[in-house]
């Protein structure tokens, strides 16, 4: 699980989430960031951008492979309650 928590201005966070042996992952993104200014980005194992999102978050994407890299960036003004990213194996 990746969580920003209540984040600060100019945040720049990154984490790799992995389920060894998975052929695909379901990536769930929930929470709240400042719309069009603070972003969650999901990358596959080949560093391809899969999804970049902000604002009110409640979405799921499927990513091929056993790992994803999650990044979070915020600007220098308004902050929000934050976002959480969870992964599970796709059957």
pLDDT for residue 44: 98
pLDDT value at residue 11: 94
| pTM score | 0.94
Helix (H, G, I), strand (E, B) or coil at 33: coil
What is the dihedral angle through the alpha carbons of 37, 43, 46, 47, rounded to the nearest 10 degrees?
20
Domains and CATH numbers, the chain: 2-89 (2.60.120.290)
- In a 10 Å sphere around its CB, with 0-12 CB exposed, 13-18 middle and 19+ buried, how is residue 6 labelled? exposed
Half-sphere exposure of 74 (CA within 13 A, CB side): 21
CA atoms within 13 A on the CB side of 13: 20
Q: Is 43 left (phi over 0), alpha (psi -120 to 50) or beta?
A: beta
The 10s digit of each residue's pLDDT in 16-40 is: 999 999 999 999 999 999 999 999 9
How does pLDDT run across 32-91, given as a tens digit for each residue? 999 999 999 999 999 999 999 999 999 999 999 999 999 999 999 888 889 999 999 997
pLDDT digits (tens, 9 = 90+) for 5-15: 999 999 999 99
| pLDDT the model gives residue 91 | 76
């Amino acid at each position: 699980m990746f969580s920003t928590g209540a984040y600060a201005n100019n945040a720049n966070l990154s984490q790799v989430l992995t389920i060894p042996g998975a052929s695909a992952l379901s990536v769930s993104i929930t929470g709240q960031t400042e719309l069009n200014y603070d972003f969650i980005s999901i990358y596959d194992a080949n560093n391809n951008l899969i999804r970049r999102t902000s604002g009110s978050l409640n979405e799921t994407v499927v990513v091929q492979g056993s790992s994803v890299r999650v990044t979070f960036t915020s600007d220098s003004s308004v902050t929000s309650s934050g976002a959480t990213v969870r992964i599970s194996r796709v059957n």
